[in-house]
Structure 1
Amino acid sequence: MNHGKLSTTNIIKVYNRLFIEQCYLCHAPSRKPLCSYCEAGFNRNSFACPLCKRPNQGTLSSICGQCQVSPPLYHNCLAPLRFEGLTQHLIHAIKFQQQAHYIRPLIQVLSETLIEHYDSVDNWPSQIIFVPSHPTRIKERGFCQTQLMVAELYKILLLQLKEKTPKHTNKSPIKKALHTQAQHTLSKKKRSENQQGVYQVTGEIEDHVALFDDVMTSGNTLETCVKLLKKAGAKQIDVWVIARTPEKNQ
């Protein structure tokens, strides 16, 4: 009997039970990053516009008024969570309290949604592009949260998809050229004005890309980036966000 190997195996098992096989939030025993109790704390974006994933108050996923008047330029939008409750708390902790370790459970939820969707259509994008922060904002926070989120998402997808995994680089081909006021602090009209001349595309763009951001509120930032990516040669753009903000009256 190889006692050294046996001892190492037991140490790994104990380590996994203590540090790996537990809920990322409450630390209860769990084979998944989130236990069933904490996972239930997320408000799922179950009833939403099928085009832009804006949450609605009904029980049907009907096309919202805005999309009826002006359909989005992107092909698909995937947004598994509503930006409220636990989701809002974790994203704010990441962005404003340097709690980047909360990225993992949020990205786990998104990755499950992506795999379920694309397994059914068998049409994965060939490139993941994230919406970057301005260097001034990155200096304030110490990191770009969307860059870290996409890096975590890429690792998860690589384990599942192998060679089908969309390619990803640490530097986004989209550049935020102007430092603007945070979108969530602005009115709907100001958000639209806030995007003029803000972004540039400087890198190579594939035909089918996934555009990632952490939260979609009005959608102006993503629509601006979609237009730029189309001008740069993208033929199909799918939008991936962790959460979608409900209207204020919901």
Structure 2
Amino acid sequence: MDWKKLSTTKIYEVYRRLFLTRCYLCNGKCENTLCLPCQEGLSLNTNSCHHCKRPTHTISNLCGQCQTLPPPYHFCIAPYRFEGIVKTLIHNIKFNQGNHYIRPLTYLLSNHLIRTYSSGNWPEQLLYVPSHPNRIKERGFCQTRAMSNHLIKSLQQHIGKECPALPKYNPIQKTKHTKAQHSLSRKERLKSPQNSYKVDTPIAKHVALFDDVMTTGSTVENCAKLLLKAGAERVDVWVIARTPDKEH
């Protein structure tokens, strides 16, 4: 008998029973990371453009922007609106060292992905939109890298060999240290430099591009174009939340 393995297994069982069977928000007992009442408090991105998932007020196929100039990626998955609890959790991760909230958010995203790809055709590779090294020094970590690691672990438990590969070295690099996106207006975001990233090869034919939040879409569109230029034939965008347009 491998006593070392048995000991590790038992320790994990105790750890799971004490810490992983509680809701991350209300601390109530639940089998998953968030209980159903807390999940119902999250803003689902129900009415949205079928392509870019831009939130809309009514059910529609394509937003005006996608009809005029379709984004370069195949489609976007964005199950939540960037508001309310979802916004608070992501802000805590990025600015208040709330790394423990990564697990429930990536768990919820993985469930949505499993439903979306229920017929198969999963991407071969998962890449993430990185932060600039200077930004990583400020925060102490790259939140999209940490989220990607958690997301892959969650997917592996459910889909096994179909799970996309997460390269040890992310081919996408941010080369320009621009202002933090949350500090910019929509107009300033759209005017921000489009050559802030570069992509090294090799790139898989079917790639998933992950980011935590999509606002104007300019960042993921820029990265998707670079991935297609580097050899990808299809890019699917995965984000946790999409920012609604401000009402005027």
TM-score between the two structures when normalised by the length of structure 1: 0.91
CA distance in 2, matches of 1:113, 1:89: 20
- Residue matched to 2:4: none
**What is the CA–CA distance in structure 2 between the aligned matches of 1:132 and 1:13, rounded to whole Å?**
34
Deviation, 1:145, is 0.1
Equivalents in 2 of 1:127, 1:178: separation in Å?
Answer: 25
Change (3 A) 1:174 1:10: closer
Matched, 1:119 2:139: no
1:93 maps to what in 2? 92
What is aligned with 2:192?
194
Q: 1:187 and 1:35, CA in 2 relative to 1: closer, same or farther beyond 3 A? A: same
Give secondary structure in 2 for the equivalent of 1:119: coil
**Residues 21 and 30 of structure 1 are in contact (CA less than 8 Å); yes or no, is this contact kept in structure 2?**
yes
Mean Cα deviation higher: 201-210 or 86-95 = 201-210
Distance in 2 (alpha carbons) for counterparts of 1:133 and 1:9:
36
How is 1:76-225 mapped onto 2 (pairs within 5 angstroms)? 76-120=75-119, 122-225=120-223
* Residue identity opposite 1:95 in structure 2: K
Q: CA deviation at 1:183?
A: 2.0
Q: Does 1:241 align with 2:234?
A: no
**Structure 1 pair 18–70 and aligned structure 2 pair: CA distance change class (3 A):** same
Structure 1 moving runs of 4+ over 3 Å: 8-17
User: Deviations 1:167-220 (Å, cap 9, x if unpaired)?
Assistant: 102431000000001223223332233132200002310000000000000000
Q: Which residue pairs with 1:29 in the alignment?
A: 29
**Does structure 2 retain, via aligned residues, the 8 Å contact 1:173–1:201?**
yes
Aligned residue pairs, count: 241
CA shift for structure 1 position 11? 8.3
Residues 108, 136 of structure 1: alpha-carbon distance in 2 compared, 3 angstrom cutoff: same
Q: Structure 1: state its 5+ residue gaps.
A: 1-7
One-letter amino acid matched to 1:80? P
- What displacement does 1:245 show? 0.2
Quote how far apart the aligned CAs of 1:143 are: 0.2
Distance change >3 Å, CA 203–CA 25, structure 1 → 2? farther
**Partner Cα distance (2:231, 2:186) in 1:** 29
The CA RMSD measured in Å over matched residues stands at 1.9
Q: Percent identity?
A: 54
In structure 2, what is the equivalent of residue 5 of structure 1? none
- Unpaired stretches in structure 2, ≥5 consecutive residues: 1-7
